[in-house]
Structure 1
Amino acid sequence: MTDIQLQPGERLDGLPSQQIQIIQNPDMFSYSLDAVLLAYFAKPRKKGRGLSVDLGAGTGAIGLFYAQKVTGQVALVELQKDLAEMAGRSVALNGLSDRVKVINADMQAIYDQIKPGSVDTVLSNPPYFSVNETTKQNLDEHYQLARHEIAIDLPRLAQTANKLLKNNGKFYLVHRPDRLNDIMAALAARKLEVKRLQFVYGKPGREANMVLVEAIKGGGSGGVRVLPPIIAYTADDQYTDQVQEILYGQPWQL
């Protein structure tokens, strides 16, 4: 692992099971459990030999965690220059510069750098909140773009994923269960057929607060599988054994 000089306000956060460290600045934006669970949930296509793309990569957490599951190339696409720069240093820190590249661009304008129809797997942890006149937005630009559908919304994200993916390529995203109708509609309208769902619960007895989604470009209709739930915390606020294993256990298998 390469030594990297941290900038003021930055820290290193790691995922021991994947032996990956991420440079972050909490004053900008930091990844959380949803990023880890999406990278864990995603199943590489063709043993991960093809190209994978993380759209809206932030500091690169999802793509870097997922890179340990595949042997092919990974592209991290991030609009915000500061976050893309941190992601680039995290790539170098983890010794993955030969397989992982960072593209600092709007995901809707990357087709000169990533050829349409060339991608096996697309992953995304998009902004969760739609924007309307009554929406209370975070004043910080980094958090505002990360949490609210300002630069990208579900229909445009689905269209971008569709354009990038090969036929039968896979699209993975993590989102809020209360947006499930919007998610299904956006994906179906762009010929991305949902095939697997997994709900995540903060604690036993509570409503789900996260949903993991797998869709296949041009996949046949029907046949949706709902996987057993993931419960994040015990009643006394400790990680469950299931999440402990994801975070600290054996490396995730290809």
Structure 2
Amino acid sequence: MEEKLESIIPLLNKNLKIIQRADYFNFSIDSLLISEFLNITKNTKNILDLGTGNAAIPLFLSKKTSASIYGIEIQKVSYDLAIKNININNLNQQIYIINDDMKNYLHYFKHGSFDIVVSNPPFFKFNGNKALLNDLNQLTIARHEIKITLEELIKIAYDLLKDRGYFYLVHRADRLSDILNILRKYKLEAKNIKFCYTTSKKNAKIILIEAIKNGRTGLNILPPLIINKDNGEYSDEVLDMFK
């Protein structure tokens, strides 16, 4: 029954395939945007994706680097899909996924183990009103801060990053104030922010943030990204990311 819900699709034009399930959280353009936003150098050796889902971000990153890429995913079905995705793309010598609550990170890694930590986390705070949650529990966990709060995730990122390591986050623009306050609390200094707009006529919906552990102050607001043209088609900048 579970396999009937699965589908294999090409992952954009990147010579990758991804298996997804109709009843679980599937990768969105957010995963592509944050993957393209990462600044990976020849000195990048270890990358961690917190809340990796079916491993879309590690798959994208495998096209940019030969570094070892790790992911932690709490939901067993998403973890199983991630393992399948790694295998069908022959990436099991580069990408390694753990099925556990990311709060148990010290069971697997030492402090300061990673050059880069990245996350596309649950976007929505849970205020106790269950009427606002998704009907499917697995979608609730992926979209709402039920299993992990933003502050808990950022603290984990700080603990696992090397000194001067980079933390990358994709999130909702309306959470920016919260994010910046928490980043500074945990000595992750925001260095670059890019606002992403669905169209040029709408307010920013998504933000991409680069922060450095124990970094100096000084924030750059990068040129905006317009995701769609007015006719609904992807913008040229986004289409370039698909290649």
TM-score bracket, normalised by the shorter chain, equals: over 0.9
How far apart are 1:59 and its partner, in Å? 0.5
How far apart are 1:84 and its partner, in Å? 0.4
Structure 1 counterpart of 2:55: 60
Q: Quick one: distance in 2 between partners of 1:80 and 1:48?
A: 32
How far apart are 1:8 and its partner, in Å? 1.2
How far apart are 1:70 and its partner, in Å? 1.4
Q: Is the 8 A contact 1:198 1:230 kept in 2?
A: yes
Structure 2 counterpart of 1:182: 178
Structure 1 counterpart of 2:39: 43
Structure 2 counterpart of 1:137: 133
| Aligned partner letter, 1:234 | K
Q: Deviations over 1:51-86 (max 9, x none)?
A: 100000001001111122111110011000000010
Q: Please state if 1:113 is matched with 2:108.
A: yes
What SS is found at the alignment partner of 1:111? Answer: helix
Structural mapping, 1:147-226, within 5 Å: 147-221=143-217, 223-226=218-221
Give unmatched runs, 5+ long, in structure 1: 1-5, 250-254
Q: Quick one: distance in 2 between partners of 1:63 and 1:34?
A: 13
Q: Deviations over 1:7-34 (max 9, x none)?
A: 2111123334432221110211111111
Q: Quick one: distance in 2 between partners of 1:9 and 1:17?
A: 24
| Aligned partner letter, 1:201 | Y
- 4+ aligned runs moved over 6 Å, structure 1: none
How far apart are 1:48 and its partner, in Å? 5.3
Q: Quick one: distance in 2 between partners of 1:82 and 1:215?
A: 31
Q: Deviations over 1:190-216 (max 9, x none)?
A: 000000000110011110110000000
How far apart are 1:139 and its partner, in Å? 2.0
Structure 2 counterpart of 1:235: 230
| Aligned partner letter, 2:107 | D
Q: Deviations over 1:113-155 (max 9, x none)?
A: 1222111100100000001133611121111001000111111
Normalised by the length of structure 2, the TM-score is 0.95
How far apart are 1:245 and its partner, in Å? 1.0
Query: Larger relative CO (CA 8 A, sep 6+): 1 or 2?
Result: 1
What SS is found at the alignment partner of 1:101? Answer: strand
What SS is found at the alignment partner of 2:127? Answer: coil
Normalised by the length of structure 1, the TM-score is 0.91
Q: Is the 8 A contact 1:48 1:70 kept in 2?
A: no
Q: Name which of 69, 73, 77 aligns with 1:78.
A: 73
Q: Quick one: distance in 1 between partners of 2:184 and 2:57?
A: 24
What SS is found at the alignment partner of 2:4? Answer: coil
More displaced stretch, 32-41 vs 110-119: 110-119
| Aligned partner letter, 1:183 | I
Q: Is the 8 A contact 1:54 1:62 kept in 2?
A: yes
Q: Percent identity?
A: 37
Q: Quick one: distance in 2 between partners of 1:209 and 1:49?
A: 30
